[in-house]
C-alpha cells in the first residue's frame, strides 16, 4: 500500500514510518517545506497555506491511504 504520512519527521511519525515500511508499505513522508527540502523523498506540506483541494490533489496521486 502507498501511504502519505503527515508529520513523518516528528517523534511519532518517524517511528510509525519505520513500522509501516517494515510491514511492506511504501511511505511518502510529509514534512514542513523547510525540512522536506533537506530530506530526499519527503513531500512538502504547509497546513497554513495548503487549504484547497487543488493544493492537495497532486500529492494524492497514486496514494492509497493518508495517515495524519
| Secondary structure of 4-64 as H, E, C letters | EECCCCCHHHHHHHHHHHHCCCEEEEEECHHHHHCCCCEEECCCCCCCCHHHHHHHHCCCC
Residue 26, pLDDT score: 94
Q: Answer yes or no: are the C-beta atoms of 4 and 28 closer than 8 Å.
A: yes
Q: What is the mean pLDDT of the chain?
A: 88
Q: DSSP label at 67?
A: E
Residue 32, pLDDT score: 77
> Model confidence over 18-49: pLDDT tens digits?
999 999 999 998 877 776 666 667 788 888 89
pLDDT at 65 over 90: yes
Measured distance CA(36)–CA(11) in Å, rounded:
15
Amino acid at each position: 500500500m502507498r501511504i502519505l504520512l503527515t508529520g513523518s519527521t516528528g517523534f511519532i511519525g518517524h517511528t510509525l514510518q519505520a513500522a509501516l515500511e517494515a510491514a511492506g508499505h511504501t511511505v511518502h513522508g510529509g514534512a514542513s517545506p523547510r525540512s522536506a527540502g533537506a530530506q530526499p523523498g519527503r513531500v512538502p506540506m504547509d497546513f497554513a497555506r495548503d487549504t484547497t483541494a487543488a493544493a492537495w490533489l497532486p500529492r494524492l496521486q497514486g496514494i492509497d491511504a493518508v495517515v495524519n
